[in-house]
């Protein structure tokens, strides 16, 4: 007999939250099981002083520490393979990922390579590698990836002269520990709060209306909509507002756990096509697309879209459910503008001549098309892209 409305919920990451929680990372690591340790990060993080702060936390533990500090945005299989090649002789036992989504996803991919044969492209899909990856300690430095709470890594691959984003999922690809320290990441540029924060809002909204969601993922996603709506403007206008930064980084992680279990939708389907083709920043592409996709999707489930309006503090008292749903979409358009995100894709270099290719790439991405609450055709995607262009 098989269950009806069956879902599985996985969450395996221990979350350390609050200001200065990065110092508690020392309690999670041990010289016996985690050394030699590889820190994976990027130049921006190194220059910000955050890498030095993490090294200071690790210093009393006397671990053998190796550092790779040159992660590129939208990482490729080749990027991750070369990090592994450069460090395989160091007998690495665990990895610390210090950075945004590209860093954490790179670290996850490298953690698989240390225990499984490459190349990684044979592992695209669900649970296809054999051995558990190395333990991963993730310290997100943005407020949007969600990867620190999830069990997937997104990599860019080239096939037939076109670039695609593909995912490896693993039941044991969750980071062992994630540090959500709003004080550590305070003072970051405001535009990073807006782009990554709007990515988190996209995860939360797409997750809440996903066809694969459950009561449990709804709880993680809808509350995240509320927390992000209440905090993103304060965090964007003053990234030293530590309360707002703590709230944002926790809400982002909540959506990461949500998306690992309930999936996403059309925004991510289109944005992965754009991100792969133009090497464009994921958060900004999502933020631009989000209201246009919501405008298309809301009719599929006005009740849930009116919940989103309420979570975003839209006054819906005198509105019908349908009016409330539409008012929620309008609020997302406004919010995008208020946090300084461009309103059109052409402002980030997307060209009209590529719309057919982008729509084709998106519609073939079943991972995101299937959970989308409203069924979608190739022409629907072209229409959305033309509006957003």
Name the residue with the smallest CB distance to Fe ion. 199
Q: How far is the CB of 146 from Fe ion (least distance, A)?
A: 7
Distance CA 183, CA 211 (A): 36
Nearer to Fe ion, 199 or 365 (CB): 199
CB of 378 to Fe ion, least distance (A): 23
Nearer to Fe ion, 229 or 256 (CB): 256
Tokens representing 267 are: 């925004």
CB-nearer residue toward Fe ion: 68 or 236: 236
The answer to whether 206 touches 225, Cβ cutoff 8 Å, is no
Q: Which is nearer to Fe ion, 135 or 197 (CB)?
A: 197
Q: How far is the CB of 201 from Fe ion (least distance, A)?
A: 10
Point out which residues bind Fe ion (CB under 5 A).
Answer: 199
- Tally of CB atoms within 10 A around 281: 21
In the complex, minimum distance from the CB of residue 164 to Fe ion, in angstroms, rounded to a whole number:
16
Nearer to Fe ion, 105 or 199 (CB): 199
Q: Work out how close the CB of 203 gets to Fe ion at its nearest, in angstroms, rounded to a whole number.
A: 6
- State in angstroms the smallest separation of the CB of 283 from Fe ion: 7
Dig out the tokens for 149 from the structure: 């709470």
The least CB distance from residue 174 to Fe ion, in Å, is: 17
- Residue 148 or 199: which CB sits closer to Fe ion? 199
Residue 94 or 145 with smaller CB distance to Fe ion: 145
Instruction: Indicate the residue among 42 and 199 with the shorter CB distance to Fe ion.
Output: 199
Minimum distance of Fe ion from residue 282's CB (angstroms)? 6
Task: Report the residue number, 314 or 358, with the smaller CB distance to Fe ion.
Answer: 358
> Which 3-state string (H, E, C) describes the chain?
CCCCCCCCCCCCCEEEECCCHHHHHHHHCCHHHHCCEEEECCHHHHHHCHHHHHHHHHHHHCCCEEEECCCCCCCEHHHHHHHHHHHHHHCCCEEEEEECHHHHHHHHHHHHHCCCCCCHHHHCEECCCCCCCCCEEEEECCCCCCHHHCCEEEEEEEECCEEEEEEEECCCCCCCEEEECCCCCCCCCHHHHHHHHHHHHHHHHHHHHCCCCCHHHHHHHHHHHHHHHHHHHHHHHCCCCHHHHHHHHHHHHHHHHHHHHHCCCHHHHHHHHHHHHHCCCHHHHHHHHHHHHHHHHHHHCHHHHHHHHHHCCCCCCCCCHHHHHHHHHHHHHHHHHHCCCCCCHHHHCCCHHHHHHHHHHHHCCHHHHCCCCCCCCHHHHHHHHHHHC
Least separation in angstroms between CB 77 and Fe ion: 20
């Amino acid at each position: 007999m098989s269950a009806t409305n069956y879902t599985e919920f996985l969450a395996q990451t221990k979350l350390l939250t609050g200001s200065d929680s990065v110092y508690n990372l020392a309690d999670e690591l041990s010289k016996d099981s985690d050394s030699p340790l590889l820190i994976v990060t990027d130049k921006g993080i190194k220059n910000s002083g955050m890498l030095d702060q993490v090294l200071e936390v690790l210093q009393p533990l006397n671990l053998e520490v190796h550092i790779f500090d040159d992660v590129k945005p939208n990482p490729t299989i080749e990027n991750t393979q070369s990090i592994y090649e450069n460090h395989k002789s160091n007998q690495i036992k665990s990895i610390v990922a210090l950075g945004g989504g590209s860093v954490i996803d790179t670290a996850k991919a490298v953690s698989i390579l240390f225990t499984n044969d490459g190349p990684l492209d044979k592992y695209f899909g669900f649970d296809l590698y054999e051995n558990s990856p190395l333990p991963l300690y993730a310290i997100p430095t943005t407020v949007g990836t969600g990867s620190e709470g999830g069990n997937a890594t997104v990599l860019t691959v080239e096939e037939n002269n076109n670039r695609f984003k593909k995912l490896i999922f693993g039941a044991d690809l969750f980071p062992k520990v994630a540090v959500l320290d709003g004080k550590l990441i305070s003072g970051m540029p405001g535009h990073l709060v807006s782009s990554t924060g709007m990515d988190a809002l996209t995860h939360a909204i797409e997750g809440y209306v996903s066809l694969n969601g459950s009561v449990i993922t709804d709880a993680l996603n809808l509350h995240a909509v509320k927390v992000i709506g209440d905090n993103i403007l304060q965090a964007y206008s003053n990234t030293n507002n530590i309360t707002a930064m703590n709230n944002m980084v926790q809400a982002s992680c909540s959506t990461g756990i949500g998306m690992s279990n309930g999936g996403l939708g059309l925004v991510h389907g289109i944005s992965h096509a754009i991100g792969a083709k133009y090497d464009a920043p994921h958060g900004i592409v999502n933020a631009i697309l989000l209201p246009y996709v919501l405008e298309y999707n809301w009719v599929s489930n006005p009740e849930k879209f009116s919940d989103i309006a309420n979570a975003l503090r839209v006054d819906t008292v005198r509105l019908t459910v349908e009016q409330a749903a539409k008012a929620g979409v309008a609020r997302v358009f406004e919010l995008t503008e208020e946090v300084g995100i461009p309103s059109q894709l052409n402002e980030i270099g997307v060209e009209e001549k590529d719309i057919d290719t982008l729509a084709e790439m998106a519609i073939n991405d079943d991972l995101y098309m299937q959970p989308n609450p409203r069924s979608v055709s190739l022409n629907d995607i072209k229409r959305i892209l033309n509006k957003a262009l």
